[in-house]
Structure 1
Amino acid sequence: MNWLAHALLSEPDTEVRIGNVLADLVKGRERKQMSDAFLQGVKHHQKIDAFTDTHPVFLRSCSRVSHPYRRFAGILIDIFYDHFLASNWEQYAAIPLETFTGELYADIQAYPITFSEDVQYALDRLIADDRLGMYQHIDGIQNTLKRISNRIESRTGRDFELDSAITQLTDNYNALSDDFAHFFPLLITHVQACDSQL
């Protein structure tokens, strides 16, 4: 799952939620400096990913991704599922999406830790562009794919166009929407079971 789902499925504790959301950004030495609550959020994130990445419904969604995008299927479906979550937010959350993301952004800005320059830049852009809120729009998803393309290009020095993979969402929209509607309640149940064991 991607950022929005991790935020929604996290415990309400602010530090745990921030750790859950930022688990893929804050790594190595920087992660070791974080609080126990932040690290609990990281573990929560990892449990969500482990369940998701091996679930038959998620794998079915991945199989809908055609070549030449198949090797990025997991990344694409993570992002596409956040689109369906944002688009159907009222089915899964008690407060409006704009309120939820606004509170999350405020918590991140108020968090009393200085992140690395790269992480801080990513967070500043996340908030300034309301990237979580933009997941509800197709062009918001395409912009996300473009940013991933740019990161891959900067790391590899080769031209890369993952943003054209938006067709994998638009061409399979109803099937992927059905997959998400089937999968997400199962993930919620799994997360609740894990939380009850803590």
Structure 2
Amino acid sequence: MNYIAHIHIGCHTQTSLLGNFLGDFVKGSQLQDLPTEIEKGIRLHRCIDVFTDSHPLIVELRQNFPADIRRMAGVIIDIYFDYLLMQSWDDFSDIHFKKVFSQFYNQLEQFSLTDNLHFNKQAQRLKSHRWLHRYMHIETCFHAFLSIENRLKNKIIFAERAKDFVLKNSDLLESSFQQFYPECLDHGVRFIQSYVPSLSTREI
């Protein structure tokens, strides 16, 4: 799942929105230096990623992608599912996305991650432009595809092909999302209910 889904799952499970966002930026060895609630969010993020990548619906969906861009299918699905979540937000949350995003931005303003250039660059963009709501528009997905394509070290040309695929297969993608996402939310809740904080140096 991508940024918006992870933040929404944080809201749904009443865990740190920032922690759920940070899962893409923090390495395992850095967890012991973070507040417990943020660590819990990061571990939930990782749990959701494993659940998503191994879910039969997602595995099958990836196989529908053309062979030449299939290696990017997971990225494309994650980004497009953020758009679909924004389209159906009220079906999955009683809290308006503006309020959730505002809480997330406030948490982001009060946090820093020393020597993590990737996080600091993305955090600055988010704090300056507050662009998460733009995923209400499909064009934001297409812009994200192109941005990722331009950043890849091993050049993979996929943005235009990804755009064509999602436009031609929107019904399949939406059906898969509507089946998958409630299971994803339930999985997140079960993880938090059974969560046991890890033993770290701060607890010794």
| Structure 1 and Structure 2 fold alike (TM over 0.5) | yes
Aligned AA for 1:195?
Answer: I
Structure 2 length as normaliser, TM-score?
0.84
Q: How does 1:1-198 map to 2 (within 5 A)?
A: 1-10=1-10, 11-13=13-15, 16-27=16-27, 30-111=30-111, 113-114=113-114, 116-152=116-152, 155-156=153-154, 158=155, 160-164=156-160, 165-198=162-195
Cα distance in 1 between the residues matched to 2:32 and 2:147? 27
Aligned AA for 1:197?
Answer: S
Structure 1 length as normaliser, TM-score?
0.87
1:161–1:98 Cα change, 3 Å:
farther
- Figure out how many residues of one structure are paired with residues of the other and give that number: 192
Q: Name segments (4+ residues, structure 1) moved above 6 Å.
A: none
Residues 82-116 of structure 1, C-alpha deviations (whole Å, 9 max, x = no match): 11111111111112222221221121112265463
For structure 1, list consecutive stretches of 5 or more residues without a partner in the other structure.
Answer: none
Of all paired residues, the percent bearing the same amino acid is 26
Cα distance in 1 between the residues matched to 2:64 and 2:126? 29
Cα distance in 2 between the residues matched to 1:105 and 1:17? 9
1:180–1:120 Cα change, 3 Å:
same
| Aligned-residue CA RMSD (Å) | 2.0
Judge which range, 108-117 or 68-77, deviates more: 108-117
Q: Which has the higher contact order (CA 8 A, sep 6+)?
A: 2
Aligned AA for 1:168?
Answer: F
Residues 139-166 of structure 1, C-alpha deviations (whole Å, 9 max, x = no match): 11111112211210xx34x4x4332112
Aligned AA for 1:169?
Answer: V
